[in-house]
Amino acid sequence: LLINFVEKFLGTVKFGNDQIAHILRYGDLVQGAVTIKRVYYVEGLNHNLFSVGQFCDADLEVAFRKSTCFVRDLKGNDLLTGSRGTDLYSITLQRTSSPNLICLMAKATSSQAWLWHRRLSHLNFDTINLLSKNDIVIGLPKLKFVKDHLCSSCELGKAKRKSFHTKLTPSSKRRLHLLHMDLCGPMHVASINGKRYVLVIVDDYSRYTWT
């Protein structure tokens, strides 16, 4: 039933009778026009279960009605439909009406997400997901990339402060009468010459700048 099997321990699940089962592998499920990535295989589980949270993480919408349920994309197109039996909703993949290939994207691990964030010059995660979805970057996996914490380099590089108010009266009468100095460092990455500090000197009268 599953293809592209990967042998890997991914944790445990607990059944209603308090029995514990191990998740020892995962693979891809292909049913007609539907491809679901990274499906967990749990030994001892007698029914195939869908995770509503995984659908939502893949930017899909899950709606429940009295007798049916729907899985839609952000444009409102129905991708999967299910029917209610007692208190459970079941989805028959063979009956899906979507004419196009559907790929429910698994979530990338934190290390994968931040690796590609750095590889793409600290690109924002919305754009990374867009590149992945449209298969634009060679080697970029088709996964859902999630920002789970702030990037310290992005914080430093994008930090800003309000400008000082312009003075109506000059503070200096001639060149070199008043100098403004700003020392920045130590930098996390050294320059080509091995320097980790930057000193900026500005002449107040002429606005000439040395670094």
pLDDT digits (tens, 9 = 90+) for 149-169: 889 888 888 888 788 787 778
For 158, half-sphere exposure in the C-beta direction (CA atoms, 13 angstrom radius) is: 9
Question: Going by DSSP bridges, is the β-strand pair 102-104/34-42 parallel, antiparallel, or unpaired?
Answer: parallel
- Rounded Cα distance, 197 and 71, in Å: 55
pLDDT above 90: residue 109: no
pLDDT-derived band at 1 (thresholds 50, 70, 90) equals low
Question: Which helix (H) or strand (E) covers residue 181, if one does?
Answer: strand 179-184
**pTM, to two decimals:** 0.38
130, pLDDT greater than 50: yes
In the block, tokens 């690796």 appear at: 115
- Map out the domains of the chain as residue ranges: 2-104, 110-158, 165-211
